[in-house]
């Protein structure tokens, strides 16, 4: 007897209670631009038309976490209010913020550049060219302050993350793993591939806007020399 696999397909969006003050709304299971567009549209609708008891949203790759005040409302109320916005959600802003991030691919800053080249069958210069050609969208923040996960790494330089993380990776390191790219903001361990370093500050001193990017913004990398990197750091 053959099983009907279509009966096991998940139907999105899916609402899930999280703790005593949250609802997770899932729009898909993959890193996908269409899925993330739905995330951004829903997030914009909620923040522009909040329900009673709404605190904040936390958008991610394929889901939005809704935080609410449990003294004002409950999961059922939050879910019902959110569902009303699904079909009538506002459009994502047509002009996302655009940011240029400087990156130096000097050997001292890119210990994994040659490994990426060898793994992909490219030369190191080709890896750099491919990385610079990517169009990167800020899909989410997570793991550490200011860690903006950027989707858009070109297919030709996509490789799985390392089998084990390494410690003491400097802040400003430009990292890639699969379709994702990230600029680290503090010294931390990582299992991603280190292909450069950026002097562009991601953390700001503005408490109302602590990070350079907003989710949904577009990032473009620009190559600089070691001398230009040192000059930027010395400012």
Measured between its terminal Cα atoms, the distance across the chain in Å is: 71
pLDDT tens digits for 92-144?
455 678 999 999 999 999 999 999 999 999 999 999 999 999 999 999 888 88
The predicted model scores a pTM of 0.81
| Predicted pLDDT of residue 93 | 52
Lowest mean pLDDT among 83-92, 147-156, 179-188: 83-92
Binned at pLDDT 50, 70 and 90, residue 148 comes out as very high
CATH of 98-233, one of 2.40.100.10, 1.10.3720.10, 3.40.50.1820, 3.40.50.150: 2.40.100.10
CATH of 5-83, one of 3.20.10.10, 3.30.70.360, 3.30.1360.40, 2.30.110.10: 3.30.1360.40
| Predicted pLDDT of residue 91 | 53
- Mean pLDDT of all residues in 65-72: 95
Q: Is the pLDDT of residue 224 over 60?
A: yes
Domain boundaries, the chain: 5-83, 98-233
| Predicted pLDDT of residue 3 | 44
Binned at pLDDT 50, 70 and 90, residue 4 comes out as very low
């Amino acid at each position: 007897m053959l099983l009907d696999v279509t009966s096991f397909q998940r139907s999105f969006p899916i609402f899930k209670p999280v703790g005593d003050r949250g609802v997770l709304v899932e729009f898909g299971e993959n890193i996908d631009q269409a899925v993330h567009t739905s995330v951004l549209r829903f997030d914009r609708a909620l923040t522009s038309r909040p329900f009673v008891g709404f605190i904040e949203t936390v958008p991610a790759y394929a889901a939005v976490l809704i935080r609410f005040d449990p003294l004002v409302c409950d999961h059922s109320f939050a879910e019902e209010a959110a569902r009303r916005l699904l079909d009538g959600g506002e459009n994502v802003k047509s002009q996302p913020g655009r940011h240029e991030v400087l990156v130096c691919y000097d050997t001292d800053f890119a210990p994994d550049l040659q490994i990426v080249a060898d793994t992909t069958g490219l030369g190191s210069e080709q890896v750099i060219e491919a990385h610079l050609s990517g169009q990167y969208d800020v899909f989410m923040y997570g793991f550490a302050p200011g860690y903006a996960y950027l989707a858009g790494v070109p297919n030709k330089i996509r490789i799985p993350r390392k089998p084990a993380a390494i410690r003491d990776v400097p802040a400003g390191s430009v990292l890639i793993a699969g379709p994702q790219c990230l600029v680290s903001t503090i010294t931390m361990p990582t299992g991603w591939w280190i292909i450069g370093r950026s002097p562009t500050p991601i953390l700001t001193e503005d408490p109302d806007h602590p990070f350079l990017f907003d989710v949904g913004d577009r990032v473009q990398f620009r190559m600089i020399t070691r001398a230009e990197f040192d000059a930027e750091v010395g400012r």
